[in-house]
Amino acid sequence: MKTHVITAIVCAITIMSVTATAKSANDTPPGATWCSLCTSVPDMRPVNVEIVKRLVYTDHTLEDSYAYNGSTREFQWDRIRQTLIELEYGQRNPSDLWVTLQNYKNKNGTAPLTASHGRDAYNTDTDIHGTSRTQAIPLYSADNFSVPTRYGRDGTLFRYLKDTAGYVKICSMIYDGSWYVPEKYVKKLSTNRFDKVIFVDRTNQNIATLEKGEDDIWYVLSMNPATTGLHNPPYQQETPLGTYVVQEHKPKMYYLKDGSSAIAGFAPWASRFTRGAYIHGVPLNNPDATQKDYIEFTWTLGTTPRSHMCVRNATSHAKYIYDWATPLESLVVVIE
């Protein structure tokens, strides 16, 4: 089945922003305006994207739109297409470089407090946009290297601009303007384009994998139910909106009992994309479980948010993503 084609003319100045749909600056969806510094040579040629279904993983497949609890849910192909158009525009010049921000478990140091800050429902410090200081990356403006202006999220995709005196100047699809980041928080990527993108939809509780094909085609490889994170302090957190780079794979992602240091169990075939957020299979509340104990599917998948920031999948779909999405070369885009 083939979806309709969309052609758009995009540039760093005229590209449409979808940030108006965000609930707050902390929830900035992907597809916001590119800053003019993000491309070394602006290219005004049209960008074409055609989305075509060529399912590779076919278990638990959802339709384009489907009934749920008396309402209709859908895959937001227009939103997905717009994001792919902007991504294609951003990676047209093969000499441009990408980076991802990294501070998993504050391994590169707790970010300094921002000039304006507050506290969130989880009793953690935040910047003026509500982004938590926990596992965050400090973003400095050109006129103030003493105190960060705001925080960037672990795993976020940025465009590399230049190195400068212990800092890296970067630009992003979802943060306005350019920023300076201490180099210890920046991972320069060896790839100069991304051909594999996972879209997670918080509103419709679904997930789709797409891969670039020939010419202007992006192929849909899977369309499945998923369950995202729930805002429920102090332990459960929503899956954050944004554009992230797959950071790492874990065959077993062990998790703790809420409020304890005791291991409660693990989730199989986990792909981490920001902080402790993974795309993974059905959790097992038994740390000693083996593959013969794995649970393929649960009725809660694709219903309502209920995880601890992660994105739950059917276990075989999580394994498919684990095998397909190469770390530091694949993207996760969380929309709503």
28-60 b/e (C-beta count within 10 Å ≥ 16 → b): bbbbbbbbeebbeeeeeeebebbbebeeebeeb
User: Average pLDDT of 265-276?
Assistant: 98
Indicate whether 5 pLDDT > 50.
no
| pLDDT tens, residue by residue, 213-223 | 999 999 999 99
The least confident of 22-26, 62-66, 81-85, 197-201 is 22-26
CATH code: domain 97-188 is 2.30.30
Q: What is the largest CA-CA distance in the chain?
A: 58
Indicate whether 125 pLDDT > 80.
yes
Q: Are 4 and 13 in contact (CB under 8 A)?
A: no
Position 13 confidence tier, pLDDT thresholds 50, 70, 90: very low
Position 314 confidence tier, pLDDT thresholds 50, 70, 90: very high
42 residue type, one letter? P
Write down the architecture of domain 2-94+193-335 according to CATH: Beta Barrel (2.40)
Q: For residues 207 and 198, give the distance between their C-alpha atoms in angstroms, rounded to a whole number.
A: 7
User: Looking at residue 160, what is its pLDDT?
Assistant: 95
Q: Are 111 and 134 in contact (CB under 8 A)?
A: no
Indicate whether 35 pLDDT > 90.
no
Q: Please give the mean pLDDT across all residues of the chain.
A: 89
Tell me whether residue 233 is exposed, middle or buried, using C-beta atoms within 10 angstroms of its C-beta: 0 to 12, 13 to 18, 19 or more.
exposed
User: Looking at residue 42, what is its pLDDT?
Assistant: 59
User: Average pLDDT of 25-40?
Assistant: 46
User: Looking at residue 47, what is its pLDDT?
Assistant: 87
Position 246 confidence tier, pLDDT thresholds 50, 70, 90: very high
User: Average pLDDT of 255-271?
Assistant: 97
User: Looking at residue 220, what is its pLDDT?
Assistant: 98
Q: If we measure between CA atoms, which residue out of 13, 197, 247 comes closest to residue 87? A: 197
Regarding predicted confidence, which is higher, 34 or 286?
A: 286
Position 38 confidence tier, pLDDT thresholds 50, 70, 90: low
Q: Are 204 and 78 in contact (CB under 8 A)?
A: no
Could you tell me the CA-to-CA distances from 225 to 75, 126, 293, 296, 317 in Å, in that order? 10, 32, 22, 13, 10
Which tokens belong to 119? Answer: 């506290």
| pLDDT tens, residue by residue, 168-191 | 999 986 777 899 999 999 999 999
Regarding predicted confidence, which is higher, 198 or 96?
A: 198
Could you tell me the CA-to-CA distances from 235 to 111, 192, 250, 308 in Å, in that order? 21, 37, 22, 7
Dihedral angle over CA of 148, 165, 103, 111, nearest 10:
-30
Other CB atoms within 10 A of residue 248 CB? 13
Indicate whether 22 pLDDT > 70.
no
Q: Are 73 and 206 in contact (CB under 8 A)?
A: yes
179-198 b/e (C-beta count within 10 Å ≥ 16 → b): bbbbbebbbebeeeebbbbb
**Ramachandran category for residue 10: left, alpha or beta (phi over 0 → left; psi -120 to 50 → alpha):** beta
User: Looking at residue 177, what is its pLDDT?
Assistant: 82
User: Looking at residue 82, what is its pLDDT?
Assistant: 95
Indicate whether 17 pLDDT > 60.
no
Q: For residues 268 and 254, give the distance between their C-alpha atoms in angstroms, rounded to a whole number.
A: 9
Q: Are 125 and 218 in contact (CB under 8 A)?
A: no
Strand partners, 249: 271
Which residue ranges make up each domain of the chain? 2-94+193-335, 97-188
Q: For the whole model, what pTM was predicted?
A: 0.89
| pLDDT tens, residue by residue, 64-109 | 999 999 999 999 999 999 999 999 988 888 889 999 999 999 999 9
DSSP designation for 205 = T
Indicate whether 27 pLDDT > 50.
no
